[in-house]
Amino acid sequence: MKKHFNYPLFFLSCLLAGSGLLFLATTSALASLRQFGTANYYIKHQLLFGFVPGLIFAAIAYKFPLDKLKKLAPVLFALNLLLMLLVFAPFIGSKFYGAHRWISIGKITFQPSELLKITSVLYLSAWIASKFSKTSAKGWILKAKKSYYNLIWVFVPFIVFLSVISVILKIQPDISTMGIIGLTLIFLYFSSGTPFWHTIASISAGIAGLFFLITTKSYRFDRWLIFINPGSDPLGKGQQLNQSLIAIGSGGFFGKGLGMSAQKFGFLPQAMTDSIFAVFAEETGILGSFILVSLFVLFCWMGFKIAKSTEDKFARLTAIGITFWIVFQALVNISSVAGIFPLSGIPLPFFSYGGSHLITELVGVGLLLNISKNG
């Protein structure tokens, strides 16, 4: 059956990205005016170094043959790991707020860990696909049928793969991104048809590792304490969460209207990055927030539908991984800002300021469109 261009996913992605740019323009205006003397600096930067290159790379991802992408996946992942290490190199790596997460070349700053969300999914999808044999049009079975061989040749290499990523992200440090990538890869591994106990063991190890990381650093542990009792330090460590809740609560059902947020005028920390959903909720209300969450749920449904419709194991797993990553990250960000989950420090897909994450999200959409048509 001949497949066609997936217009519903395309228009949904355009709606999300367009809405994100619109709200970023209004949210960042004051900070831009104070720092650069113009209200348009941040939105121009997002367009020039995020949206435009994102569209270009998304078009490449859409046109790139999937069979060649599968072969290139290990190379792309290895190059990404090299970039992850270059953040520590003198004159190239940049350190902000005590973290080595960026590479700076002139005025261009890039965060390699954002790209890792794509390349790790591609590599794991290609690797898992090589471990399966096709039994029917949509049926697959592990080549190694005995539990012992599954343990040695499938589960142990996966744990090593996960550990390498975790160690590099730990030393940067970027624990929030580690959590997003780690859970995405575990979900992808579980969805591939590997034994269920592999997933249980992976999740258990991941939870134990995150608990250790949270409890060994005071600022991470403080986030959990503030989450439990937001009013314990409203003007200090709890300011971001408290101001976010004030913004969301003051929006009411219909919101204050586009551009009418009061909290973004110096009250809400990280208003144009991690906490942009609070501004969105204040201006659009409960109704707008419900619509935004519904759009991400719709994105999830479309992505998993694409995965289900393809017969290629690599394409199916890639679609699952990309869809889960984008939607899971969105729900974690929204939940954090709304006080349902501890503050995470991760961006809201398509909305938060930052060119690196917007580029990778648009590339993810390009790959989904590619799989939808050619997978």
Alpha-carbon distance of 141 to 15, in angstroms, equals 39
Asked whether residue 59 is assigned to any structural domain, the reply reads yes
pLDDT at 227: 65
DSSP annotation of 6? -
Residue 211 has pLDDT above 80, yes or no: no
**High-pLDDT (> 70) share of the chain, %:** 84
On average, the pLDDT of the chain sits at: 87
Q: How sure is the predictor about 138, in pLDDT bands with cuts at 50, 70 and 90?
A: very low
Q: 78-81: which pairs have CB atoms within 8 A and are 24 or more residues apart?
A: 79/119, 80/112, 80/115, 80/116, 80/119, 80/120, 81/164, 81/168
* DSSP type of residue 155: I
| pLDDT: which is higher, 148 or 23 | 23
**2 within domain boundaries:** no
Residue 198: phi, psi to the nearest 5?
A: -60, -45
Which parts of the chain fold into alpha helices (H)? 7-27, 29-36, 41-46, 52-63, 66-86, 112-130, 147-150, 156-171, 175-191, 196-215, 218-228, 239-250, 276-309, 313-337, 355-374
**Residues 203-228: what's their mean pLDDT?**
67
Is position 309 within any domain?
Answer: yes
Residue 149 within any structural domain of the chain: yes
Where in the sequence is the domain holding 96, given as residue range(s)?
7-374
Q: What's the N-to-C CA distance of the chain in angstroms?
A: 12
Distance CA 172, CA 340 (A): 27
Q: CB under 8 Å to 309, separation ≥6 — which residues? A: 372, 375
Indicate the DSSP class of residue 111: -
CB 375 within 8 A of CB 319: yes
Q: What is the pLDDT of residue 220?
A: 59
Radius of gyration of the CA atoms of the chain, in A: 21
Domain contains 1: no
pLDDT, one tens digit per residue, over 38-66 is 999 999 999 999 999 999 999 999 999 99
Q: What is the pLDDT of residues 341-353, one digit of tens each?
A: 887 789 999 999 9
Is the model's pTM score more than 0.85? Answer: yes
Nearest Cα to 58, choosing from 50, 47, 70, 48?
50
Asked if 272 and 352 touch (Cβ cutoff 8 Å), the reply is yes
Residue 139 has, within 13 A of its CA and on its CB side, a CA count of 2
pLDDT in tens, 251-260: 999 999 988 9
In a domain, 257, yes or no: yes
Evaluate whether residue 26 is within a structural domain. yes
In this predicted model, what pLDDT tens digit does every residue of 59-85 receive, in sequence order?
999 999 999 999 999 999 999 999 999
The total of structural domains in the chain comes to 1
